[in-house]
Chains A and B, each alone.
Chain A
Amino acid sequence: MTDAHTAGPFIAAIDQGTTSSRCIVFDRDGRIVAVDQKEHEQIFPRPGWVEHDAAEIWNNVQEVVAGAMVKAKVVREDILAIGITNQRETTMLWDKRTGQPVHNAIVWQDTRTDTLCKELGGDVGQDRFRRETGLPLAAYFAGPKIAWLLDNVEGLRERAEAGDLLFGTMDSWVVWNLTGGVNGGVHVTDVTNASRTLMMNLSDLNWNEEIAAAIGVPMQVLPEIRSSSEVYGEVKGGTLGGLLGGVPVASALGDQQAALFGQTCYDVGEAKSTYGTGTFMLMNTGEKLIHSESGLITTVGYQIGEDDPVYALEGSIAVTGSLVQWMRDQMGLIGTAAEIETLASSVEDNGGAYFVPAFSGLFAPYWRSDARGVIAGLTRYVTKAHIARAVLEATAWQTREIADAMTKDSGVELAALKVDGGMTSNNLLMQFLADVLDAPVVRPMVAETTCLGAAYAAGLAVGFWQSTDDLRANWRRAAEWTPSMDAEHREGEYKNWLKAVERTMGWIEE
């Protein structure tokens, strides 16, 4: 029994997420000592637009950090470093003299830059900057969001060109404020966050001035790009200055990359998949920068201090957990999300039904915006339980398609998949996932892999942990599902799934 985790020292991690900000205090074994969390307002000014109030977010961050300190009953001396992970791509500008945001932050889901991205693509199309940045021109990414703000909010472009404004994703905003804000705050971002702007060269990790100019972003607003794990500065001033003054701020990672890091996917071919509303799967491809031929995104996985960067392939699935929510809220077939498993378990198989939830088109590896959702293979025999089964299977098959694309691009077979997120409590889904991937699916003991990744990176930077081997030693398997489906059955089902996918395409006539 080793419950002596009240003895420090500790690492604190801030997770500035899409719906809330959290702070978790971890001990040396990577165990959670305390958590505090606060939600912030989601602002929807128009259909398709999503904003956050960055000032509210900074207030919340300060509150949850202080809250976690109190809950953990720790003082400044117990905290060796603070790490940061954040919702990716959410974009904001602030006045460097007043420290005030000049507009609400534009959230990653916001689609207002759709048209701008199409215009930027011009004759070349959405892959215009893919070679350099690894990304397609899509509304998620930060660069065009900056341009939108500068061109649509009165006076911003002039102020930006005069050097009065600073751009940041949420990591930059939090680090700048933590390290003193208007009184000498450091204006930095890390390679993983910078790799989501459409403006960073993947090869040399520098801003690409030509692309920035093409998008319409003046270089003066951009932060300095640093590694994911190094001391950017120390906590200074403000309410946290009193509480944690002098504590090093020592990591920043986009949330999905932080999860990759927290899941200790440090070797080439190791992959993690986070099952939430949507699903994000990342595979470590090592020092090799792989340009995807299969519709995946190339991104920076992490960079530790002076080390070479580690690249990753990323595939996202738009609809996974949200399909279960849809079954609950729109269809009323279940009372809680967990009941999907009960309903699905009441039958042996899908009864011939396949559900492709292309609610807003097909994402990786197809990228078809003309697709819409389909339930295929219906007969009189099919019950709601079969549909529930098809709902869960859809998440697994979509993962299989991403995994196949990753194997194709990287040449590396998936040896095992590390999973996290809410849907990992669904035993039936996890077993089916192992079956269709024909690879073990492993759940780690600390579910908070995102915060853990930020804590790990910060702890490495200050020598709390010596190496990634130390971190690996902390990793504990909580459950493992081994494949048990015979190959013929699997291939037959996969064929049916792919047939159902075919039937979603071309529904919207463009």
Chain B
Amino acid sequence: MPKHIQSLERAAAMLRLLAGGERRLGLSDIASALGLAKATAHGILRTLQHEGFVEQDPDSGRYQLGAELLRLGTTYLDVHELRARALVWTDDLARSSGEAVYLGVLHQQGVLIVHHVFRPDDSRQVLEVGAMQPLHSTSLGKVLSAYDPVAHSELVEVKREPFTARTVTELEDVERVVDETRSQSYATDYEETWDGVASVAAPVFDRHRLAVGAVGITGAVERVCRDGELRAELVAAVRDCARSVSRDLGSGPF
């Protein structure tokens, strides 16, 4: 039998001990039931508590199963919750950048637009909530592929259509773009999906540091680019917005 990690085995034993009914146990009960030193048991309990798997009753000091454990397995961030949390930050991004803002999540083999803020000028625009964007060519898609393993596997399998002369379609090249996205923490799309259009996006994380979406701006190359690159101040504004939404979702400091 291969060797198992002892502290994980002990943590599992603690959870079983606390499971079933409305069980609350004190530190010494837990320690003696599992034959552990109090200090050892306490260390494990504190870790479990930190992860939300165990909660400590503030009055009695006894331990019980945490709410996080119940959520495990059914946990997902409702996209409408994501939109509600992102609303003020995305409005501000549109306002400061002067460009349209999109918030996207992975859906099947692409990016589902769950929120769209108009470009703040008087031009006629159509709400694109519910539209799909490709994973391999858009900045939202690249960000999701870089941070969400499920999106990445879709990216590998999906048919990568060449939308423009600049679209990167070869797997090897796409993987390089994904690596680059990961190392710089944002992605760009310079006329890779639509001619004359560029975009930049950054990841939104939840409180477990999982990438739950991507937020970015899209606009005419003439406005959002300089010398063939996305303007640095726009990249900074997008990343600020992504950080603010993440913070609102309970994600820790970056």
Binding site for B on A (CB under 8 A): 1-3, 29, 31-32, 335-342, 422, 425-427, 445-447, 476-482
Contact across chains for A338 and B83 when beta carbons are under 8 A apart: yes
Contact across chains for B84 and A447 when beta carbons are under 8 A apart: no
Within the complex, what minimum Cβ distance (angstroms) separates B82 from chain A?
8
List residues of chain A with CB within 8 A of the CB of B14: none
B116 on the A face (CB < 8 A): yes
B173 on the A face (CB < 8 A): no
Interface residues of B in 122-149 (CB under 8 A from A): 122, 125-127, 129
The 8 Å CB contact of A338, one of B81, B95, B120, is: B81
List residues of chain B with CB within 8 A of the CB of A335: 78
Contact across chains for B83 and A425 when beta carbons are under 8 A apart: yes
The 8 Å CB contact of B98, one of A2, A338, A426, is: A2
Contact A446:B98 (CB < 8 A) given known A1-B233, A342-B79: no
The 8 Å CB contact of B118, one of A336, A337, A426, A477, is: A477
List residues of chain A with CB within 8 A of the CB of B122: 477
Contact A3:B118 (CB < 8 A) given known A338-B81, A339-B81, A480-B127: no
B96 on the A face (CB < 8 A): yes
- A-B contact list, 30 entries, CB within 8 Å: A1-B98, A1-B231, A3-B233, A3-B237, A31-B92, A31-B96, A338-B80, A339-B80, A342-B78, A425-B80, A425-B84, A425-B87, A426-B80, A427-B80, A427-B83, A427-B129, A445-B91, A445-B120, A446-B91, A446-B95, A476-B95, A477-B122, A478-B120, A479-B116, A479-B118, A479-B127, A480-B118, A480-B125, A480-B127, A482-B126
Contact A447:B87 (CB < 8 A) given known A339-B78, A477-B118, A478-B117: yes
List residues of chain A with CB within 8 A of the CB of B79: 342
Contact A31:B87 (CB < 8 A) given known A339-B81, A476-B120: no
Bound together, the chains give a CA A114 to CA B36 distance in angstroms of: 66
Contact across chains for B234 and A1 when beta carbons are under 8 A apart: yes
Within the complex, what minimum Cβ distance (angstroms) separates B105 from chain A?
12
List residues of chain B with CB within 8 A of the CB of A477: 118, 120, 122, 125
Contact across chains for A338 and B118 when beta carbons are under 8 A apart: no
* Chain A: CB-nearest residue to B90: A478
List residues of chain A with CB within 8 A of the CB of B120: 445, 476-478
Contact across chains for B96 and A1 when beta carbons are under 8 A apart: yes
Within the complex, what minimum Cβ distance (angstroms) separates A391 from chain B?
14
B49 on the A face (CB < 8 A): no
List residues of chain B with CB within 8 A of the CB of A2: 96, 98
The 8 Å CB contact of B92, one of A32, A340, A480, is: A32
List residues of chain A with CB within 8 A of the CB of B129: 427
Q: How many residues of B contact A (CB 8 A)?
A: 28
Nearest first, the 3 A-B pairs at minimum CB distance are A338-B80, A476-B120, A338-B81
B86-129 vs A, Cβ < 8 Å mask (1 yes, 0 no) = 01100110111110000000000000000011101010011101
Bound together, the chains give a CA A2 to CA B234 distance in angstroms of: 10
Interface centre among A32, A426, A477 (most CB of B within 10 A): A477
List residues of chain A with CB within 8 A of the CB of B88: 447
Interface centre among B80, B87, B231 (most CB of A within 10 A): B80
Binding site for A on B (CB under 8 A): 78-81, 83-84, 87-88, 91-92, 94-98, 116-118, 120, 122, 125-127, 129, 231, 233-234, 237
Bound together, the chains give a CA A29 to CA B94 distance in angstroms of: 13
Interface centre among B78, B117, B120 (most CB of A within 10 A): B78
* Chain A: CB-nearest residue to B117: A478
Bound together, the chains give a CA A427 to CA B233 distance in angstroms of: 30
Given contacts A2-B96, A445-B120, 13 further A-B contacts (CB under 8 A): A1-B231, A336-B78, A336-B81, A338-B78, A338-B81, A426-B80, A427-B80, A427-B83, A447-B88, A476-B95, A479-B117, A479-B127, A480-B125
Contact A447:B91 (CB < 8 A) given known A3-B237, A338-B83: yes
The 8 Å CB contact of B237, one of A1, A29, A480, is: A1
Bound together, the chains give a CA A1 to CA B95 distance in angstroms of: 9
List residues of chain B with CB within 8 A of the CB of A337: 84
Within the complex, what minimum Cβ distance (angstroms) separates A485 from chain B?
16
The 8 Å CB contact of A481, one of B80, B127, B231, B237, is: B127
Bound together, the chains give a CA A427 to CA B88 distance in angstroms of: 15
Contact across chains for A445 and B87 when beta carbons are under 8 A apart: no
Within the complex, what minimum Cβ distance (angstroms) separates B131 from chain A?
12
Bound together, the chains give a CA A341 to CA B84 distance in angstroms of: 11
Contact across chains for B96 and A3 when beta carbons are under 8 A apart: yes
List residues of chain A with CB within 8 A of the CB of B91: 445-447, 478
Bound together, the chains give a CA A195 to CA B120 distance in angstroms of: 35
Bound together, the chains give a CA A293 to CA B79 distance in angstroms of: 43
List residues of chain B with CB within 8 A of the CB of A29: 95
Contact across chains for B84 and A1 when beta carbons are under 8 A apart: no
List residues of chain A with CB within 8 A of the CB of B84: 337-338, 422, 425
List residues of chain B with CB within 8 A of the CB of A1: 96-98, 231, 233-234, 237
Bound together, the chains give a CA A1 to CA B226 distance in angstroms of: 12
Bound together, the chains give a CA A447 to CA B83 distance in angstroms of: 14
Interface centre among B83, B91, B118 (most CB of A within 10 A): B91
Bound together, the chains give a CA A321 to CA B2 distance in angstroms of: 56
* Chain A: CB-nearest residue to B123: A477
Bound together, the chains give a CA A480 to CA B128 distance in angstroms of: 10
Within the complex, what minimum Cβ distance (angstroms) separates B100 from chain A?
10
List residues of chain A with CB within 8 A of the CB of B125: 477, 480
Within the complex, what minimum Cβ distance (angstroms) separates B108 from chain A?
16
List residues of chain A with CB within 8 A of the CB of B94: 445, 476, 478
* Chain B: CB-nearest residue to A442: B118
Within the complex, what minimum Cβ distance (angstroms) separates A470 from chain B?
15
Bound together, the chains give a CA A340 to CA B80 distance in angstroms of: 9
Within the complex, what minimum Cβ distance (angstroms) separates A447 from chain B?
6
List residues of chain B with CB within 8 A of the CB of A338: 78, 80-81, 83-84
